[in-house]
A = this chain, B = another copy of it.
Amino acid sequence: MLDATRLRTPCLFDKIVSADEAATLITDGMNVGVSGFTPSGYPKKTTLALAKAIKAGKKCRINIWSGASVGPEIEETLAEVGGISGRMPYYAASNKTLSRQINTGSVTYIDQHLSHFAQQIDYGFYGDVDVAIVEAAAINADGSIVLGSGVGNTPMLVKHAKKIIVEVNTSIPLTLEGMHDIYICSKPPERTEIPIYHVGDRIGSPYVSCGLDRITCIVESDIVDHVRNLSAPDDTSKKIAANLVDFLEHEQRHGRLPQQMLPLQSGVGSIANAVLMGLAESKFEHLTMYSEILQDSVFKRLSKQMTLLRQI
């Protein structure tokens, strides 16, 4: 139930609508931006309602813009009713219907460098962001948005969206508040370096700037992220992990790495997960880490050894 811990000023309660009503904002041909990065922090209710409306006869095919792949409540459900005309910058191939539509050419797909897409939106290369649908943990009294476990291109989509639907999801723990560091780069030629010099540096805001007047409506949600499980480390990935730890310890013994280990950057997937589990059993202490995606191993195994981590 939405209460004052989630909607932090009374006027926000006046914006609450049903998912069906929110879905009426989305019409044929629109560019629709969605929050999230991988199946983390993506909206669910509005796209499910839209798919239901399309199945019932609404004529609507849209372009879906995101940070990375999102969950099946968007990619697969809308594809199944023929509701997707374009997709950028990435999708999850586990969505078989969308895969088929892309491969047969009925969905226009641009597979892009994820980090380039926000700048291209900022330049307006692909047109307007007609609607942004953002899953949030809460909305502050000034309209700024508290995200959940994924950020992706949400800040840029919100910056440009003509209408904004916020799905406030009561299943997101409010303890996530404060973990984000939201920063939007200036466009070239005013672009400067991203001034992160150490893992713990903070350069932006914990919230996505928005403004109360720009929030068109709010939909209550409690659907949890449809995450994909990683396979448990097998013997090969365990051996890879052991070799890497051995290499790092060897370099440290020979003075080519400092005793206080340099920041690590972890990748994504089962092998990265296994490597991080291997590090958990190493002698390293006070590790610092950058990562695009934080996987179970970081939280379950490495927290005793990890001083700072930063998702980038």
Contact = CB atoms under 8 A, between A and B. Distances in A.
A262 B189 contact: yes
Interface in A270-306: none
A192 B263 CA distance: 15
Copy number of this protein in the oligomer?
Answer: 2
A197 interface: yes
Interface in A188-229: 189, 192-193, 197
A110 B127 CA distance: 49
Contacts of A263: 189
Interface in A158-216: 189, 192-193, 197
Nearest to A258: B189
Contact of A192 (B189, B192, B197, B262): B197
Nearest to A190: B197
Nearest to A197: B192
Interface string A256-270: 000000110000000
A160 B240 CA distance: 39
Contacts of A197: 192
Nearest to A188: B262
A197 B193 CA distance: 9
Contacts of A192: 197
Contacts of A189: 262-263
Contacts of A193: 193
A263 B189 CA distance: 9
A263 B188 CA distance: 12
A193 B191 CA distance: 13
Nearest to A195: B193
Contacts of A262: 189
A258 to B, nearest CB: 8
A257 B193 CA distance: 22
Nearest to A194: B193
A267 B302 CA distance: 49
A41 B136 CA distance: 61
Nearest to A191: B197
Nearest to A263: B189
A271 B56 CA distance: 64
A277 to B, nearest CB: 25
A192 to B, nearest CB: 6
A87 to B, nearest CB: 27
Nearest to A193: B193
A192 B197 CA distance: 7
A58 to B, nearest CB: 38
A262 B263 CA distance: 36
A118 to B, nearest CB: 20
Interface of A: 189, 192-193, 197, 262-263
4 contacts: A189-B262, A189-B263, A192-B197, A193-B193
